[in-house]
Amino acid sequence: MKIMKDKFTPNIHFKAPFGWLNDPNGLVYANEQWHLLYQFHPMSNIWGPMHWGHAVSDDLVNWIHCPIAIAPDEQGAMFSGSGIIDKNNDSGLFDGPSDNNLVIFYTASLTQAEQDDFQTQCLAYSNDGGLSWTKYEHNPVIANPGLACYRDPKVLWVEESQSWVLLITHGQSIGIYKSTNLTHWELCSEFGESEGLHTSGPWECPDMYPLTAEDGMTKWILVVGIGDGCEASGSGTQYFVGDFDGETFINSNPSEKVLYLDNGRDYYATQSWFNAPDNKRVGISWMSNWRYARDTETQTFRSIMTLPREYSLVTNSHGDYVIAQSFASQVNEKFNQVSTLAESEVNVIQPPSSVYKLKGELDLSEEQTAEITLFGEDKPQVTIEYVNGEIMVSSARSYLGLNEILQKEFPHNYSFSQEHNTSSLDVELIVDNGSVELLVCGGRVSMTQLYFPEKPEGQVSLSHWQNVQFSPYSPQ
Ligand code: FRU
């Protein structure tokens, strides 16, 4: 067999240099660089003994690959986790205070033959900007209290309580711990047993941060991945809006309320960067779904990340606080050659390549359906309607290849609705060689999907769109 460049190699999305990738890990902005570490299996394009890959970027689009950060050891494989800067040397692991004191927290996971999914929380540190990492000699820093799914430590600094906080998934809830020295952790509370969505899938990869809305209100956001059983099928990401005092998270919504961070099928294990500049909350997700991640249509590598996004706190039409997403400003800058299209042109747009951005407005009467047809196909992948005060977005995806898992799990046809008090909506999407990230309504609706089309550079056709702006990717 001849090994060829993969047809679905992305242009602007992050991928590992080769091999398997899943969750983003250890996201830190340090020394004016974005560090992206990630679940990595360098020896195969299928999930296996997890390592942490590592890359850095100045602009969130162009990445420099670095040596593997951490590899499996006698404590287990290196499952997901997070990163921080121990600026004041609270841990005592460094020579003194410095912006270079990087610490990552990971789960060591022993599986099957050795011991059934026995998971403990560990740390490693670097004082050379992340080029090399030393595992802490007294790992684990948190022993397993007897829980089956006990993983994915997320560490944050909480200004109000002047303490480090660590979140871990406890089966289907989140354990909240605190510490002053990063090595001794005390369990303060648990959140979630009877809140939000619970399915057969475990809760995974928590994240938490405060966001301040334009009206000055600050809310804490708790993000949780759900391994399987989400509405769009398979893995998905839910979030809670609430209050946090450094020890306990209180949900501001009724416990049965389910908020999805994305309504597509390829947006999982979302994490945000520690110390992002300009007070922005910037995050990234794994662009796949455990239902078919091992079978996607590439060979030399498998899986990509979503584009980096910025998260903000806004209100919906009921006045409730929700998250709005936008593409990171650094990503938008790569699409700055904008042409405005006349209405007569939007039915047939021939992109110059397979990576481009589209922006437009919809003002839909009850009978009108806005359509987005991509890749020169004859049926729309996405339709948007405005019915009884709700936006309804429908997604249709097909798969024509030979892989049996993809034949079963990949095609779909579903809709979701969201209240919205006006029929005028803004829409934007970025297409990159088959992947599509769609934001509607000021980013209150997000839908992220993979496609494996015959012609990723095929023609685009839009109906009922106004003020359409087309931008090809302009690398700088
Ligand atoms: C989520 C996840 C994590 C785990 C990692 C293993 O996708 O299952 O809970 O740490 O992947 O690769």
For ligand 1, the distance from its centroid to the CA atom of residue 471, given in whole angstroms, is: 35
pLDDT at 112 over 80: no
Tell whether ligand 1 has an atom less than 6 A from the beta carbon of residue 149. no
Pocket test for ligand 1, best of 38, 39, 82 (most atoms within 8 A of CB): 39
Tell whether ligand 1 has an atom less than 6 A from the beta carbon of residue 41. no
Count CB-CB contacts under 10 A for residue 97: 12
For ligand 1, the distance from its centroid to the CA atom of residue 50, given in whole angstroms, is: 9
Written in H, E and C, the secondary structure of the chain is CCCCCCCCCCCCCCECCCEEEEEEEEEEEECCEEEEEEEEECCCCCCCCCEEEEEEECCCCCEEEEEEEECCECCEEEEEEEEEECCCCCCCCCCCCCCCCEEEEEEEEECCCCCCCEEEEEEEEECCCCCCCEECCCCCCECCCCCCCEEEEEEEEECCCCEEEEEEEECCEEEEEEECCCCCCEEEEEECCCCCCCCCCCEEEEEEEEEECCCCCEEEEEEEEECCCCCCCCCEEEEEEEEECCCCEEECCCCCCCEECCCCCCCEEEEECECCHHHCEEEEEECCCCCCHHHCCCCCEECEECCCEEEEEEECCCCCEEEEEEECHHHHHHHCCCEEECHHHCCCECCCCCEEEEEEEEECCCCCCEEEECCCCCCCCEEEEEECCEEEEEEEECCCCCCHHHHHHCCEEEEEEEECCCCEEEEEEEEECCEEEEEECCCCEEEEECCCCCCCCCCEEEECCEEEEEEECCCC
Tell whether ligand 1 has an atom less than 6 A from the beta carbon of residue 80. yes
pLDDT at 114 over 60: no
Distance, in Å, from the CA atom of 92 to the CA atom of 72, rounded to the nearest integer, reads 25
**Mean pLDDT confidence for 350-358:** 97
Q: Rounded to the nearest 5°, which phi and psi values hold at 294? A: -75, -5
For ligand 1, the distance from its centroid to the CA atom of residue 23, given in whole angstroms, is: 7
Cβ–Cβ < 8 Å for 464, 360: no
**Mean pLDDT confidence for 252-275:** 98
Residue nearest to atom 8 of ligand 1 (CA): 204
| pLDDT at residue 148, as a whole number | 85
Count CB-CB contacts under 10 A for residue 454: 10
Instruction: Check: pTM over 0.95? Answer yes or no.
Output: yes
For ligand 1, the distance from its centroid to the CA atom of residue 193, given in whole angstroms, is: 20
The dihedral built from the CA positions of residue 417, 462, 426 and 364, taken in this order, carries a sign that is negative
Tell whether ligand 1 has an atom less than 6 A from the beta carbon of residue 152. yes
Task: Locate the ligand 1 atom nearest the alpha carbon of residue 23 and give its number.
Answer: 7
For ligand 1, the distance from its centroid to the CA atom of residue 80, given in whole angstroms, is: 6
Domains observed in the chain: 19-316 (2.115.10.20), 334-472 (2.60.120.560)
Tokens of 14: 């992050």
Angle at 135 between CA 132 and CA 136, to 5 degrees: 135
| pLDDT at residue 108, as a whole number | 97
Residue nearest to atom 6 of ligand 1 (CA): 79
For ligand 1, the distance from its centroid to the CA atom of residue 315, given in whole angstroms, is: 32
Tell whether ligand 1 has an atom less than 6 A from the beta carbon of residue 79. yes
**Mean pLDDT confidence for 374-378:** 97
| pLDDT at residue 223, as a whole number | 98
Cβ–Cβ < 8 Å for 141, 183: yes
pLDDT tens track for 177-186: 999 999 999 9
**Mean pLDDT confidence for 189-197:** 97
**Mean pLDDT confidence for 36-56:** 97
Tell whether ligand 1 has an atom less than 6 A from the beta carbon of residue 22. yes
| pLDDT at residue 153, as a whole number | 98
Tell whether ligand 1 has an atom less than 6 A from the beta carbon of residue 119. no
Which pLDDT band, with edges at 50, 70 and 90, does 202 fall under?
confident
| pLDDT at residue 421, as a whole number | 86
Pocket test for ligand 1, best of 78, 79, 119 (most atoms within 8 A of CB): 79
pLDDT tens track for 306-324: 999 999 999 998 899 999 9
Tell whether ligand 1 has an atom less than 6 A from the beta carbon of residue 204. yes
Residue nearest to atom 12 of ligand 1 (CA): 79
Q: Measured between alpha carbons, how far is residue 461 from residues 383, 438, 472 in Å?
A: 12, 15, 16
Tell whether ligand 1 has an atom less than 6 A from the beta carbon of residue 39. yes
pLDDT at 373 over 80: yes
Task: Locate the ligand 1 atom nearest the alpha carbon of residue 204 and give its number.
Answer: 9
Task: Locate the ligand 1 atom nearest the alpha carbon of residue 149 and give its number.
Answer: 9
Tell whether ligand 1 has an atom less than 6 A from the beta carbon of residue 206. no
Which pLDDT band, with edges at 50, 70 and 90, does 99 fall under?
very high
Task: Locate the ligand 1 atom nearest the alpha carbon of residue 235 and give its number.
Answer: 7
pLDDT at 116 over 70: no
Q: Give yes or no: 278 in active site.
A: no
Distance, in Å, from the CA atom of 437 to the CA atom of 267, rounded to the nearest integer, reads 10
More confident: 148 or 108: 108
* CA distance between the termini of the chain: 36
Distance, in Å, from the CA atom of 357 to the CA atom of 285, rounded to the nearest integer, reads 19
Q: 228-244: b or e for each residue (b if 16 or more CB lie within 10 Å)? A: eebebbbbbbbbbbbeb
pLDDT tens track for 205-225: 999 999 999 999 999 999 999
